[in-house]
Amino acid sequence: MLIQKNTDALLWRLALIDQAQKSIDLQVYIWSDDTSGRLILERIILASKRGVQVRLLVDDMHKGWTDEVSALIDRIPNIQFRRFNPGLIRDGIVRRTFQMSTQFRQLNRRMHNKQLIVDGTWGIVGGRNLGDPYFGLSSKYNNADLDLLTTGAVIMDLASDFDEYWNADATYPGNAMAGEFSDRKIDKLLEKYTKSLADDYVLLKKANIPVDYQDWSQAFEMLPDMMVIGNAQSIKDSPEVRGDRGIRLVEQISQFNINASHTASVITPYMIPSKEMLEKLQKNVDDGNSGYKVRLLVPSMESNNHTMVHSHYKKYRKKLLSAGVELYEFKGWPSEKQRDISNTSPIEAEFISLHTKAFVVDDRWVLLGSLNLDPRSIHINTEHMLIIECPALAKQVTTDFNTMIAPENSYSVTLNKNNRLRWNSIDGERKTQPASGFCQRWTNFFWRWVPLENQL
């Protein structure tokens, strides 16, 4: 079952955690210490008190939880907390910068995977991390994103993938991130956490998000009518950070013989195409394969939460269009209906950021997970994806794609007769790319000249 609405994404995570009886395995790139992040942690702690065995695996790059808090979480009965690929030096900007410069290849490899597995029965896989922008609770920006709730035989594959990362040499227990605490220190940390929760509950109640444990039985009883049946396989990158890192995820996709014969629809928040990708697209044009169509949806600059990446994507627009791609850029302020999918009422974010990562091929295959089409996802980070053969699911994703590229939600990017870029939408034609303001345009100009494309 697709989970498109951000509110539903939070509710289904709470539902799985609250209904857990035996185990919870959570793997994520970012887990923020904010309203939704603390709420999920609190529900996980309640589950552990019921005897549920919990394993939490979080990448070390974005330390939403401090080392002290990580250690405290790891010391809660029935909870194990681990960090992926942490550096030995934990504090001091100068010292950490030196460490990064001397161990760059190793520490530059980050775990971008995102999955939740409960009781070896239910799983959520997709593009969302754990934090307010992913669940519609940020006033700055909220994401347009996509997850998949799944059950069945593929859960065994997801569990096996998690175990491989959990037992990898690059994972370290949170308990090792800090020494022993005095009772006073523990009381101070708990007091801060409790106060933050109290403030969070005010907003959560306004948003109709349950702040206490719930019985979600009725929601689960409705699932058979809401889900579709398909064949799914899980693929991933190796968790190794040193030496041979194995076959990349993108190379594994080719083993499934998923070659589009008529249409490929792609949504990606970060797009920096490889030379091979452009050559393959151009070959279809040169061979006169007019029946083959590629539709690509990426963020406009005003809808991108990382202007740095956008600054290096923009030079590929003309190359993509020349290679026959239908190019669309998502609006930062789309239609009210589209904003309602991303915002959790009563929150109204300043803009909507596109963060969906989904591929539909020939109305038959759906590829959904953590993979972006940029050098960092393809060559550097670890990624995770479900490859699903299911025409019914493909139809749903295609319907959402068509809605997102509609003129009220996106700009259609084209070349005029003078080979100049134009942005067309319900608001008419633009000659310059949409931006949130002068500051973003200046930032975009600055980053364009910084030679870091292979790290984006």
Same domain, 296 and 338: yes
Look at residue 282 in the predicted model and tell me its pLDDT: 82
Both 295 and 441 in a single domain?
yes
Q: What is the pLDDT of residues 239-296, one digit of tens each?
A: 999 988 999 999 999 888 887 778 999 999 999 999 998 988 888 777 767 678 999 9
Does 361 lie in the same domain as 448?
yes
Average pLDDT score over the chain: 95
Domain boundary among 225, 260, 288: 225
Rounded mean pLDDT of 407-428?
A: 97
Decide if 26 contacts 52 (C-beta within 8 A). no
- β-strands 79-84, 115-118 pairing: unpaired
**Minimal CA–CA distance to 33: which of 91, 4, 86, 72?**
72
Q: For 322-351, write each residue's pLDDT tens digit.
A: 999 999 999 999 999 999 999 999 999 999
Higher local confidence (pLDDT), 182 or 215: 215
**Using alpha carbons only, how large is the chain's radius of gyration in Å?**
22
Which segment of 115-119, 360-364, 405-409, 420-424 scores lowest on mean pLDDT?
360-364
More confident residue, 403 or 262: 403
pLDDT of residue 361: 94
Residues 211 and 266 reside in one and the same domain: no
Both 174 and 308 in a single domain? no
User: How many distinct structural domains can be found in the chain?
Assistant: 2
398 and 306 together in one domain: yes
My answer on whether 123 and 24 are in the same domain is: yes
**Residue after which a domain boundary falls, among 184, 201, 225:** 225
Give the pLDDT confidence of 131-155 residue by residue, as tens digits.
Answer: 999 999 999 999 999 999 999 999 9
Same domain, yes or no: 221 and 251:
no
Residues 168 and 211 placed together within one structural domain of the fold: yes
Please give the residue range of the domain that contains residue 103. Answer: 2-225
For the domain that residue 129 is a member of, what is the CATH number? 3.30.870.10
Global confidence as pTM:
0.96
Whether residue 59 contacts residue 30, with contact meaning beta carbons closer than 8 Å, is answered with yes
- What φ, ψ does residue 442 adopt, rounded to 5°? -65, -45
Are 62 and 176 part of one and the same domain?
yes
Sign of CA pseudo-dihedral 149, 330, 132, 381: positive
Of 193, 208, 225, the one marking the end of a domain is: 225
| Together in a domain, 276 and 305 | yes
Claim to verify: residue 170 and residue 274 sit in the same structural domain: no
